[in-house]
Amino acid sequence: MTESSTRDIRTDSETNIIQVISVASSPHLKNLSLSSRKMMIDVMIALLPVMGMAIYMFKWLVVKQLIIAVGSTLSAEAVFTKMRRKSFSLPDGSAGVTGLILGLSIPVIAPWYVGVIGSVVAIGIGKVIFGGLGMNIFNPAMVGRAFVMIAFTGVMAAAGYENKHIAVDAISMATPLDAFKQSGFVTPLRDLFFGFTNGSPGEISALACVSGGVYLCLRRTAAWEIPLGVILSASVMGLFSDMIHPDVPFTFLHHLAGGSLLFGAFFIATDPVTSPISKKGRFLFGMGIGFILMMLRFFSGYPEGVMFAVLFMNAVTPLINRWTIPKTLGT
């Protein structure tokens, strides 16, 4: 074996060629079409119809709100990770997604500082304090939203969505759930379906939420078990209520299409970090959200309950994980 065609792995000083042979643990193949970053980009793509409908209804107001929210989450992420001397994490896209979700879930006419404070709290308290992406217990966007909702009750409550003096028509209306709660007015299903209504910019159109959401589920970036659980349990509760009060014109379909149920089911509850890891667990998680949000809609002073439902179920997620350990093959 003098004329070896296999080049030696060690440095070959005569030809000065170094062939680098690496060793690593198996598996040696990796499916490159799956990465955390691609999952985040998927969410952004899925939000396009939602953002499109929001811009159609609220014009430049929603653009401004999104720029504020995304700009603040990105800056907050950069500053906080720098403070914690962690590696630069903006390219993973998660802060951008948090900004978009937050921006789409606060009223478009809320003052600029609401978006900024919400974003800083979302990233700082919602995520970085727990150890960054993957370690947080609560959905960061919902933590930020809950903070501003309590801090700025006036601008975040139902009335915060209405302003008669702004040239955008939709804003002169009450949100569908509030209109019904306050005055018994039932927004037509057609308007709820297409999104010709007032509300948080992300939630207005059922069609946009479902089309983006189905894309996410097909890409398997979102676990389909979660929206299925939410919609199923909310429908069952809605139908139950319809049976008890057959005379109330606000049916379970209005409940599904109105408010942020679908936006929450497809885009907020499906955050993988804060939802259970097994299929069964995810379904239970979704059912829990649907149940709590309908209870809040029926019995609480708030017209809407998605945020609290998601935050509550986030807190229960470790428990669900413990109850739903998949059964190992052969046990």
The site map against other proteins for 82-121 (x = CB under 8 A) is: ----------x-----------------------------
Torsional sign, CA 107, 201, 132, 230: positive
Of residues 9-28, which lie at the interface with other proteins (CB under 8 A)?
9, 19-28
Cα Rg, the chain, nearest whole Å: 23
How many Å apart are CA 323 and CA 320, to the nearest integer? 5
Which residues, 6 or more positions from 168, have their beta carbon under 8 angstroms from its beta carbon?
57, 58, 59, 61, 108
Question: Which residue's CB is nearer to other proteins, number 135 or number 151?
Answer: 135
Q: Are 221 and 43 in contact (CB under 8 A)?
A: yes
Which residues, 6 or more positions from 327, have their beta carbon under 8 angstroms from its beta carbon?
none
Which residues, 6 or more positions from 292, have their beta carbon under 8 angstroms from its beta carbon?
305, 308, 309, 312, 313
Q: How far is the CB of 308 from other proteins (least distance, A)?
A: 22
Site residue total, other proteins (CB under 8 A) = 47
Question: Binding to other proteins by residue 318, rule CB under 8 A?
Answer: no
Question: Binding to other proteins by residue 328, rule CB under 8 A?
Answer: yes
Q: How far is the CB of 140 from other proteins (least distance, A)?
A: 13
List Cα–Cα distances, 252 to 182, 187, 212, 248, 304, in angstroms. 18, 13, 22, 10, 14
Exactly one of 7, 82, 84, 245 binds other proteins (CB under 8 A); that residue is 7
How many Å apart are CA 8 and CA 22, to the nearest integer? 13
Question: Which residue's CB is nearer to other proteins, number 192 or number 223?
Answer: 223
Alpha carbon 72 to its chain's center: 17
The site map against other proteins for 126-145 (x = CB under 8 A) is: ------xxxx----------
Question: Binding to other proteins by residue 327, rule CB under 8 A?
Answer: yes
Question: Binding to other proteins by residue 64, rule CB under 8 A?
Answer: no
Q: How far is the CB of 225 from other proteins (least distance, A)?
A: 10
Of residues 258-297, which lie at the interface with other proteins (CB under 8 A)?
272-273, 275, 277-279, 282
Question: Which residue's CB is nearer to other proteins, number 235 or number 321?
Answer: 321
297, HSE (Cβ side, Cα atoms, 13 Å): 30
Residue numbers of the site for other proteins (CB under 8 A)? Answer: 1, 4-7, 9, 19-32, 34-39, 92, 132-135, 220, 223, 272-273, 275, 277-279, 282, 325-331
